[in-house]
Amino acid sequence: MIKIGLHGYGNIARGVECAVKQNDDMVVSCVFTRRDPGAVKTISGAPVYRTDDILNHKDDVDVLIMCGGSATDLPEQTPAMAKYFNVVDSFDTHKKIPEHFANVDAAAKESGKIGIISVGWDPGMFSLNRLYGSCILKDGADYTFWGKGVSQGHSDAIRRVDGVIDARQYTIPVEEALDAVRSGSQPELTTREKHTRECFVVAEEGADLKRIENDIVTMKNYFDEYDTTVHFISQEELDRDHKGIPHGGFVIRTGKTGQNLEHNNVIEYSLKLDSNPEFTSCVIVAYARAAYRLNKEGLSGCKTVFDIAPAYLSDKSGEELRKAML
């Protein structure tokens, strides 16, 4: 059994606990938290320890899954923990991936451990499909669309608007843009043409709804480049109809082949997820198995989904995979 440790205990960690239960060759062996361990109740029943005590539990963990946030937690924690453990994280600040990679690589090479970073669906499965698509169809273009799904960051931004109690923001790909891409015409699309944003907002009683709406739709970086719709609803409605964390999206690569590039070809990968964090956790768990196996083979250093042969994700042998899935 592969012993999985969880560093941090939020949505991703709970998703990992659920995902590990679906995999027969692994178990959540322990959870590490900055909170009072007595106040944390795990889904799996795994014991909870203080993060400060983590080095006393090195033998209890084959792979440590880093469940903190990308903004401030993971840039510090993943390299720090790679000094002692095989680690997997879902670091998703695209711009800072090269720096994060270098830090984790240095730590993991020194310790002889494996660190797999930026695992999930974007970065993650979407990245893989961008890579495969671009290697196969060289004369082409790729497009990534997100949604329909909840953007936590945009929901949070709305909540910071004066007079707003609660909010939920959906990112929605524009159907006409998707169709234009699928046609193979390789259109150039602006931000506004690709996605719309729909907001469900609970306002304080007596608040100036016109002003709130204006504050939202004109908000720099978040909404000003999009066509944004704002709906005011009650807290009850929000809780009843918008509690889930669905997400998904599309990676589409179109490209030309043939002697005179006369043939058009479309590769489309899409996700439709009832639970964004649970799906992310499922991907992480598959790559945790890969981290374990790669390290058993004597490899070390930082890896991404690009560097890992797909067979490493599976609990089946090469022979079984070739027979059943090739």
With CB under 8 A, what is the number of residues at the site for its own copies? 67
Q: Which of 75, 123, 149, 173 binds its own copies (CB under 8 A)?
A: 123
Least separation in angstroms between CB 285 and its own copies: 8
Q: 87-116 mask for its own copies (x: CB under 8 A)?
A: -------x--xx--x---------------
- 141 is an interface residue for its own copies by CB under 8 A: no
- 25 is an interface residue for its own copies by CB under 8 A: no
Please state the φ and ψ torsions of residue 151, each to the nearest 5 degrees: -100, 115
Give the closest residue to 120 by CA, choosing from 92, 146, 142, 86: 92
- 266 is an interface residue for its own copies by CB under 8 A: yes
- Say how far apart CA 115 and CA 48 lie, in whole Å: 23
The residue range among 60-68, 76-84, 149-157, 252-260 that interacts with its own copies, by the rule CB under 8 A, is 252-260
- Say how far apart CA 10 and CA 281 lie, in whole Å: 11
- 279 is an interface residue for its own copies by CB under 8 A: yes
Q: Which of 48, 88, 114, 305 binds its own copies (CB under 8 A)?
A: 305
Q: Which of 2, 7, 8, 15 binds its own copies (CB under 8 A)?
A: 15
Least separation in angstroms between CB 284 and its own copies: 10
Task: State the burial class of residue 260 (Cβ atoms within 10 Å of its Cβ: 0-12, 13-18, 19+).
Answer: exposed
Q: Which residues pair with 201 in a beta bridge?
A: 167, 232
- Say how far apart CA 70 and CA 288 lie, in whole Å: 18
- 318 is an interface residue for its own copies by CB under 8 A: yes
- 131 is an interface residue for its own copies by CB under 8 A: yes
Please provide the DSSP assignment of 25-51 as one string.
TEEEEEEEESS-GGG---SS---EEEG
Give the closest residue to 167 by CA, choosing from 196, 193, 197: 197
CA 188 from chain centre, in angstroms, equals 26
- Give the interface with its own copies as residue ranges (CB under 8 A): 14-15, 18-19, 22-23, 43, 94, 97-98, 101, 118, 123, 125, 127-132, 134-139, 182, 257-259, 262-275, 278-279, 281-283, 286, 304-311, 313-314, 318-319, 321-323, 325-326
